[in-house]
A and B are shown apart, each in its own frame.
Chain A
Amino acid sequence: LAKTTQPISMDSYEGQEVNITCSHNNIATNDYITWYQQFPSQGPRFIIQGYKTKVTNEVASLFIPADRKSSTLSLPRVSLSDTAVYYCLVGESPISGGYQKVTFGTGTKLQVIP
């Protein structure tokens, strides 16, 4: 399974756009990139998943360059409630399965400041 590297922590003011970048240099052809959010005393919550280029949903955008060796989670206009730990996961194709077996990594602790 591909190893991921992300910043340990980030601070942002309310209303700003936050970009969290994850490096995954040894990503495999069949690997997908998935981001989860976790609040204290709760389980991780799926945010977004992608394979290449750009994916957008109601919560975030995910940018993946052509070489796929990194990805950037973009949170538009964060609020205090976005304070959480964000995990980048890389694993096998969701069609053939396997990505759920990953280790979550240390994640990025985002602190939104009023």
Chain B
Amino acid sequence: EAGVTQFPSHSVIEKGQTVTLRCDPISGHDNLYWYRRVMGKEIKFLLHFVKESKQDESGMPNNRFLAERTGGTYSTLKVQPAELEDSGVYFCASSLRDGLKAFFGQGTRLTVV
């Protein structure tokens, strides 16, 4: 069974540009989560999808971040325009049911220069 897959694994963009991160959860997992770790800080929750609906987006830092999950399958996280402080590792996770163990992807390392 394939695990959670994230694309790209690394991305380097200039300040002001747009970047879109993608997450493919484990097939059949309705719950999808985004987390991020900015440099030197802890891994923090960003938002939670149940199928295509945003269940909780309380962790989204500001309106430069837009997450979508059309059709309830893969999800994208767009950062527009990117700022230097957005640099970090963005993790995606999925679970069969909220609260059950989550399976994480390997993360996308975003560097904004």
Chain A residues engaging chain B, CB cutoff 8 angstroms: 32, 34, 41-46, 49, 87, 91-106
Contact = CB atoms under 8 A, between A and B. Distances in A.
Contact of A42 (B42, B99, B106): B106
B56 A94 contact: no
Interface stretch (B12-20, B43-51, B60-68, B69-77): B43-51
A101 B45 contact: yes
Interface string B14-56: 0000000000000000010101000000111100100000001
Residue from A32, A41, A91 having most chain B Cβ neighbours under 10 A = A41
Contact of B99 (A94, A104, A105): A94
Secondary structure dominating the interface of A: loop
B105 A43 contact: yes
Nearest to A46: B101
Contact of A97 (B99, B104, B105): B99
B100 A94 contact: yes
Interface string B69-113: 000000000000000000000011101011111111111000000
